[in-house]
Amino acid sequence: MLSSMISPVKTEVQRITEYLSTQNPLPQYLPYARFLLSADLTHTAKLLYTLLLDRATLSQKNNWVDAKGRVYVLYPIIHLAKDLRCSTSSVTRALTELENADLLERLHTGFSKPSQILLKIPVGMQKCTSNQRNKNNLNDNHLIRANNTRLSFGGYQNIFLTEKEYKRLKVDFAGLDTLIEQLSAYIQSTGKKYADHAATLRIWAKRQQSEKKTAPGIPDYTFAKGESL
């Protein structure tokens, strides 16, 4: 009798998933490299490499490269352990495993500072599979990206040139490396910014060739209005 007097309470179950359709966006995901599927590595090492590869895309956007043009990742072990939800010892073992597999290299930058992690990619992994786009298009795109990647130069690593720009300037002007060092120190000391470092170096080099120095050994770096940002 009592039960009949109590009205049923309707509860709506909250959905935690939904079917994938053509309209809804994909969830955030990590770039899991195909070669990892057949790699002789532990599951933790594969996930760690994937996490570092994802972080490396940020390094590419920020142009975090060393003097040799190699992209590096800053990712302290304690943060890696937190993101992978495992112990720091597990992360350390996985890093060593990846080093032994020649998939990364760690460069120590000083006491209590995180190491620079240099990721490596297996030779030939850019080859296309049957479900990828045309091979020639992929290879052309790879070369375009490589040529457009800006590398950092100078003592303060604040001069940015593509490999193509550097080689062209090297051919056109003697003493380019010295000029790069001068521009690097000038930018560091003055805080000035230039929209195109290759064009700036070309202007400086031509001025050194054609104009008198303001003092012995000191070139005139005075710029007209609008030549610097």
Domains of the chain from N-terminus onward: 34-122 (1.10.10.10), 149-210 (no CATH)
pLDDT value of residue 97: 94
pLDDT value of position 22:
82
- What integer is the mean pLDDT of 145-159? 71
Which of 161, 208, 212 is closest to 184 using CA atoms?
Answer: 161
Q: pLDDT band at 48, cuts 50/70/90?
A: very high
The whole-angstrom separation of Cα 36 and Cα 50 is 9
Tell me what the mean pLDDT of segment 198-203 comes to: 89
Element (H, E) at 131: none
Burial (Cβ within 10 Å: 0-12, 13-18, ≥19) of residue 91: buried
What is the reported pLDDT for 136?
45
The dihedrals phi and psi of 150, each to the nearest 5 degrees, come to -90, 130
Flag the least confident range among 7-16, 77-86, 191-200.
Answer: 7-16
Give the model's pLDDT for residue 189: 83
- Of the chain, the percentage scoring pLDDT greater than 90 comes to 23
Q: Regarding predicted confidence, which is higher, 87 or 215?
A: 87
Q: Which residues pair with 72 in a beta bridge?
A: 118
Q: Which residues pair with 105 in a beta bridge?
A: 118
Average pLDDT, the chain: 77
Interval 119-138: pLDDT, tens: 998 876 544 444 444 444 44
Task: Provide the pLDDT for residue 100.
Answer: 92
pLDDT classification of 174: cutoffs 50, 70, 90: confident
User: For the residues 41-65, what does the mean pLDDT come to?
Assistant: 91
Instruction: Write down the pLDDT at residue 142.
Output: 42
Question: Does pLDDT of 179 surpass 50?
Answer: yes
Which pLDDT band holds residue 140 (cuts at 50, 70, 90)? very low
As given in the structure block, the two tokens for residue 67 are: 């003097």
Question: What is the per-residue pLDDT for 12?
Answer: 56
Q: Which one is predicted more confidently, 158 or 150?
A: 158
